Amino acid sequence: MGQRARAAGGCLTAALGAGLGLAVWSYDVRNRFQRFEAGPDWSVLYAELPLAVFGGILASLGVWALVRRGG
C-alpha cells in the first residue's frame, strides 16, 4: 500500500471515529441537557461533546495503528 493510501486510510479512520463519538454522545442527550427542575446544563455542549468526538478519534486511530503495526 502506498503512502497516500495509508494517509487517506488514517484520515478516513479519524473521520469515522469522530462520527462514532458523536453518535455515542447524542444518545439520550436531551435528558442530560435538561435537568429536572433546573435550567439547561450547558456543560453537555462545551465539555461532553468535544470530549466524545476527540475520544472517538483517538480510539479509532489507536485501533488503526494497532492494525497497521500487526500487518
CA distance 71 to 68: 5
Kindly provide the b/e burial profile for residues 25-44, where b requires at least 16 CB atoms within 10 angstroms of the residue's own CB.
beeeeeeeeeeeeeeeeeeb
- Nearest Cα residue to 32 out of 49, 16, 15: 49
pLDDT band at 1 (very low <50, low <70, confident <90, very high): low
Residue 57, CB-side half-sphere exposure with 13 Å CA sphere? 10
Helix (H, G, I), strand (E, B) or coil at 31: helix
Q: What is the pLDDT of residues 6-54, one digit of tens each?
A: 889 889 999 999 999 999 988 888 877 777 667 787 888 888 899 999 9
Query: What is the pTM (predicted TM-score) of this model?
Result: 0.81
